[in-house]
Amino acid sequence: MDFTLTDGQKKLVSAFRTFGADTFTPERVAKWCRDQGLPDTVMKEFVDLYYETAEPDIAPDLAHSLLSQVLIVEELSRCAGTTLPFQNDLFNLQIMSGFAGAAEAASIAEDYRADGRLMFALAISEPDGGSDTMAMKTSCQTVDGRLLLNGRKSYVNNGEYAPYILVAAIDKDAGDTGRYPSLSFWLVPRSVPGINAVPISKIGQSMLPFALISFDDVELSPEWRLDASEGGFQQLFHLLEYGRVLLCASSLGMAQAAMDDAVAHARSRKAFGVQVGRFQQIETLLTDMEVRLRNMRSMVYRAAWSIDAADETERLDVALMKRYVPEASVQVASDAMQILGGLGYTEGSRVSRIWEDCRGNQIAEGTDQVMVYIAAPLIIEHYRSF
């Protein structure tokens, strides 16, 4: 399959490459990782550029095709050498577009464009559920005339700070709906009584502050429910694929950053009077890293194209990509650390940060085991046609 970029895509990459190079200097990135987030000015600059380069055939609330979003996330992740919040924002917009009415989704996007920050944090994962969204226990139910929300959500990015929380909950008032329970989404003000957020300490991905959020008899107002929540779990499963593609685009960009640093070191460093890039072991590592990077890029672009084109292999493409790309990016980062030697194992080297962030991506949006569980039946079905 030909993934040659169009002239428009090349201009898009060039624009964000300039923005990334000017913005994400090593000193700034280190500071923003310590601060656990980007300044408002940087977020607004990204949003302005994102909408200035919007594609004419894409809905205004999304502005770009998934493949173009991949190119943006990949390039900025390469420039920064760390996980950035932009991929989460783009995924959250996909969720909003998929479950809200057109007017509500457009209003949210307009606020995002004006402020530079999303007004809501997305709350889907649960402590006992993880990647198994069907194990969701958070629910809403009418009790004594009051519609109440109860449950817990984990790994809620920006959950302590966002003014609203977009919560996925089982609608117990709907009764038995067959194979899938009735799923509802609620855009709940953070200030409503009964909501409590506790920060989650983690290694890596420092710019993404996570929180555990509990809902204890939170009284819901009917207008907080998203208009198109009837899409249910099947719609959610489809939209989760967007998140996996964007996450893998981030892993790809960070792995490329690790490769850039490794090559620069191999060129400049000498040992025993010889450029270390001429050592056979280093040559082997660099060659294997490049093989992984090319395979990763092909799989990420293929998965994004499949979703944009509504191709019948979409689910398999995404599952295979998520199974391979984060693991391969960890190996590329690990090899880069090996090439840099002792320097690569220090906090001052960005390859160590890249390794941590990429390792986290093996877990986020579906573990390796979950991806195998999804992919294997699809592989068997795919080969039945031969």
Domains for the chain: give ranges and CATH numbers: 7-118 (1.10.540.10), 122-231 (2.40.110.10), 232-383 (1.20.140.10)
Query: How many angstroms separate the CA atoms of 123 and 208, rounded?
Result: 14
pTM of the model: 0.94
Compute the C-alpha angle 347/33/77, nearest 5°.
90
**How many CB atoms are closer than 10 A to CB 71?**
23
pLDDT range class, residue 275, cuts 50, 70, 90: confident
Over range 282-290, report the average pLDDT: 95
What tens digit of pLDDT does each residue of 151-165 get? Answer: 999 999 999 999 999
Task: Indicate the SS3 state at residue 212.
Answer: strand
pLDDT of residue 1: 61
Query: How many angstroms separate the CA atoms of 150 and 194, rounded?
Result: 9
Over range 22-35, report the average pLDDT: 95
Q: Is the pLDDT of residue 229 over 60?
A: no
pLDDT range class, residue 231, cuts 50, 70, 90: low
Q: Quick one: tokens of 248? A: 């893998």
What tens digit of pLDDT does each residue of 87-116 get? Answer: 999 999 999 999 998 888 999 999 999 999
**Distances, alpha carbon 2 to alpha carbons 6, 66, 330, in Å:** 11, 17, 27
Query: How many angstroms separate the CA atoms of 9 and 65, rounded?
Result: 11
Supply φ then ψ for residue 213, to 5 degrees: -115, 130
| Residue 272 CB-density burial (10 A; 0-12 exposed, 13-18 middle, 19+ buried) | exposed
